[in-house]
Amino acid sequence: MRILITGGAGYIGSFILRALEDKYELLVLDSLEEGHIWAVGGHKLVVGDIGDEKILNDIYENFKPDVIIHCAAYIIAPESCKEPFKYYENNFYKSLKMLKFFLERNLKYFIFSSTAAVYGNPKYLPIDESHPIEPLNPYGWSKFFFERAIMDLKNVYDFEYIILRYFNTAGASLDGKLGQYKKEPTHLISRIIRTILGFYDRLEIYGNDYPTKDGTAIRDYIHILDLAQLHKIALEYLLENKKSEIINLGYGRGYSVLEVVELANKILKPFKYEFTKRREGDPAILIADNKKMKLLFNFVPKYDDMELILKTSYNWEIYRIENNLK
């Protein structure tokens, strides 16, 4: 079984790669704009753009994937408000071009890394897969447009898909040797760790006037190791049942920004923080209804622990700095 992982040199893709490496023949396609060669390890890597038909043709001729796990995307919601074309071009247009290319060559299975950002501000909590689709930013819309395209293509081509809507992915490997790196991080936990290590003199918390218990935004954080394992289970489910699904990936509980900040202050090292204005395109609360995930995948999380998320992230950042991984 040959699997192509687009964006496999990125944070999430590199963990999926390791979750699958014992059982499948794997190939990574990554432009390395956001990904890193060190994240691929010893796996086969094609450096290129998902919209480059020559590269896609080379992959087809030399690898002929049975399954594509599509992780390649721009993911920063506030940036998408400032650069919507960038997000629609890559996350929708190029993704559609890539999928069409392989469907025309008889691709049978497709797994798409989507996002809870498609839901927008929740009408109810927790958010299930039937929740109305009302993204607050071009990032969320670009992901949903591609979701819609996948569903429509299913009416024309003989393939099955699973769309996985991630909530907030966080954490690093237990040995501290693999994790997330971005030169200017936007994710809360990465920014906390960088602040602790002196990259910033204080952490900015974007908004303390949300309609939440402490005024800061609430998110459902899922450890990257559980998320990667869920991709393996999703793949096995797809191969066995040949049934398309849309599934939330989250733990079903939320932490406010302030709760995460105060816990990091307690279990790692003290650091300064201050409140600033909200970022454009950020919803107040996102918490997954994960009943479908648990039912279909018979999944029990192993790493549902915010302390573990923070500690593995911290250990990874120390390791990354010591080994000059950029």
Q: Which residues carry out catalysis?
A: 139
> What is the spatial distance between Cα 198 and Cα 146, in angstroms, rounded to a whole number?
39
Task: Reply yes or no: is the peptide bond before residue 126 cis, omega within 30 of 0.
Answer: yes
> What is the spatial distance between Cα 13 and Cα 16, in angstroms, rounded to a whole number?
5
Both structure tokens of 209: 């006037």
Query: Is the separation of the CB atoms in 186 and 204 below 8 Å?
Result: no
Range list of β-strands (E), 167-253: 168-170, 203-206, 218-219, 221-223, 245-249
CA angle centred on 287, ends 284 and 291, rounded to 5° = 160
> What is the spatial distance between Cα 214 and Cα 258, in angstroms, rounded to a whole number?
7
> What is the spatial distance between Cα 265 and Cα 271, in angstroms, rounded to a whole number?
6
263 exposure class (CB count in 10 Å sphere: 0-12, 13-18, 19+): middle
> What is the spatial distance between Cα 99 and Cα 110, in angstroms, rounded to a whole number?
9
Both structure tokens of 72: 């390649």
> In sequence order, what are the beta bridge partners of 256?
218
| Terminal-to-terminal C-alpha distance of the chain | 32
